[in-house]
A and B are shown apart, each in its own frame.
Chain A
Amino acid sequence: MTQRRFPIFLLILAVAGGGIVLMGYWVDLPALVAVRNVLLRWAATLTGVAVLLGILNLLTVHWLKIIQPREGGVYSLVMLIAFVITFLVVAIDTPTGSWSVWIFRYIQLPVETSLLAILAVLLVVAVARLVVRRPDSFTLLFIGTAILFLVAATYLPRFDIPVVRSLRDWIVQVPVVAGARGLLLGIGLGVVATGLRILLGADRPYER
């Protein structure tokens, strides 16, 4: 019986919480706004706790890989050691302390920047593969557009072709903006639909 009642309790909690936060936008009652603000702060705190739980889960997974030796376990060991060192440094030195910033500047920043830099190389190779495997009009259109955007983003004296830049500006300001507006409208409608489904109890992600 308790098991059957618990989802109903969750449903009431979710609908009431969502309803209060939503009503706070339309009804200017100080009490309602105060309750909404408290709920929002709880949400922010809970998200922080969720991050901690995620970290704990990650650590557990890697710890299990170490104590049950399997292929790639050494990477888990490196990950755990790196985590412990970083955690201690940031906890003691604060996130903006000189040691914390040193780790960020000389380890995380170069690694992530280098990974992104590889994208330029991969793009060229991917285009070569694309042309070999699917040499059709869409591929040529893609290559043409990519070259147009790369060239039009620079300003080379004597080689500056106004038509190329105008074409690039037109693409950015007309078809791209039209597509972006469509996407934004779609996202907005999707958010409204999802919110309504949760408020009406049709979607119950908290029961999973």
Chain B
Amino acid sequence: MSDEDDQVTCAECGFENPLEAERCQNCGADLPAAFAENLLAQVPGQEPFINKARITPAQQVHLRLLGEMLAVEGQALLLGISPRRAGYTTLRIGTSLVLFLVLLFSLLANKPVFTHPSLTSEALEARQLVYALTPGAPVLFVVDYQPGFSGEMTRLGQGVLAHILAQRAYPVFLSTHPTGPAQAEVFITDLGISTGIAYLTPDQYLNLGYLPGGPSGLLSFSQAPQQVMPLTADGNSAWQDPPLQTIQSLSDFSLVLVMTEDPDTARTWIEQAGPQLQGKPLMLLLSAQAEPSLRPYLESGSGQVQGMVSGVSGGVAYQDSAVFTLQSDTSGITWSAYSLGLWVGAILLLLAGLYGVFRLVREQENELSRGDKP
């Protein structure tokens, strides 16, 4: 520690006083109180500094609070439910029931009520990219979403994958999430169930599995895919199939397609893998929540992203617009259930808002009436 650290500066005149001084030796002003000993003695590695630290009373209060917070960290806290919160429990159960029953009714009624959305311009570009694929063209299909989002992402991506397979292209699945390999298998199997076509045999696609390393791993894979991921997810040699023997870098894929709900994941792919594509198209399949954050890449005109399909609405529109048909096409029913759920959610939000305003007005009236009484 330097000599400066062993001195305390007077806030009034700026004079450097010895550490043990209680008053300024120049102007006599009070110096900050010495640090209470052992206040943070439990913080490992900080003892030498604590013993020499000088802090104000306000800082001591903050440190005590920090100490108390550290002390309770790791302790199981029992959550007591106040009578006020018990009312919200009823509200929670009621809301759940309403949403559940409405969705169940919509699915059981089996009647499409809502009109399907139309294809957006960026989804149209995405469709053109898939149409341009030739038979046997290798397509890197990145399955990078959390399992919780599979409801939305499956509905979003099924039409696109079915279109890729209809073009007789060769999808190669990859994920930077540990659950990605299983997620891709479920995605493929569900598509097989939807189409009823048995063309999804293991020799018609490849699952490379999990790519570790975040941005570094991704950049590394972009430059030398065969070296970084030599094996498939099930441990076999990955690059022996004819469509993949010529793959030396990411630019050897005809199309790279990233399917994610996380803007950061998509951003990493755009920024790390994008420069290695050398003009080959990068297409995004995005959850509705990620679309606004990534739209600048699409609209910048730089060609970083050349096609985008987003949300359940994008998936339904894509499926409607393609030339293929899914054997068990349930998009009409699920779209109606989804739309009805959104409407009910909007109505519940409106009711919640009205309830809040009503309650506020009633409380103010009660206060006024109490104020009028002698």
Contacts and interface: CB of A to CB of B under 8 A. Distances in A.
Interface stretch (B3-11, B112-120, B155-163, B239-247): B112-120
B179 A104 contact: yes
A151 B344 CA distance: 9
A135 B356 contact: yes
A40 B220 contact: yes
B216 interface: yes
Contact of A44 (B220, B234, B348, B350): B220
B178 A51 contact: yes
A119 B113 CA distance: 25
A3 interface: no
B182 interface: yes
Q: Which of B211, B343, B355 has the most chain A CB atoms inside 10 A of its CB?
A: B343
B224 interface: yes
Interface in B73-98: 76, 88, 91-92, 95-96
B146 A112 contact: yes
Interface residues of A, number: 61
A10 interface: no
Interface in A101-132: 101, 103-105, 108-109, 112-113, 115-116, 120-125, 127-132
A40 B338 CA distance: 43
A158 to B, nearest CB: 10
Contacts of A180: 292-296
Contact of B343 (A40, A45, A156, A177): A156
Given A94-B233, A104-B183, A128-B88, A47 B343 contact: no
B227 interface: yes
A26 interface: no
Contact of A132 (B219, B234, B343, B359): B359
Given A116-B148, A160-B115, A180-B296, A47 B353 contact: no
Interface in B327-356: 338-339, 341-343, 345-346, 348-350, 352-353, 355-356
Majority DSSP secondary structure for residues of B touching A: helix
B103 to A, nearest CB: 10
Given A108-B147, A113-B150, A125-B88, A131 B352 contact: yes
B182 A47 contact: no
Interface string B131-149: 0000000000000001111
A177 B299 CA distance: 9
A151 B342 contact: yes
B188 to A, nearest CB: 10
Contacts of A113: 147-148, 150-151
Interface stretch (A77-85, A142-150, A198-206): A142-150
Interface in B222-244: 223-224, 227-228, 233-235
A41 B183 contact: no
A177 B292 contact: yes
B212 A121 contact: no
A125 B95 contact: yes
A146 B346 CA distance: 7
A206 B179 CA distance: 29
A71 B76 CA distance: 7
A156 B213 contact: no
B111 to A, nearest CB: 13
Contacts of A128: 88, 91, 352-353, 355-356
A193 interface: no
Interface string B295-306: 110010000000
Interface of A: 37, 40-41, 43-48, 51, 71-72, 94-97, 100-101, 103-105, 108-109, 112-113, 115-116, 120-125, 127-132, 135, 140, 143, 146-147, 150-151, 153-157, 160, 172-173, 176-177, 180-181, 183-184, 187
The 7 A-B residue pairs with the shortest CB-CB distance in the complex, in nearest-first order: A131-B356, A44-B213, A44-B217, A43-B216, A112-B148, A154-B339, A104-B182
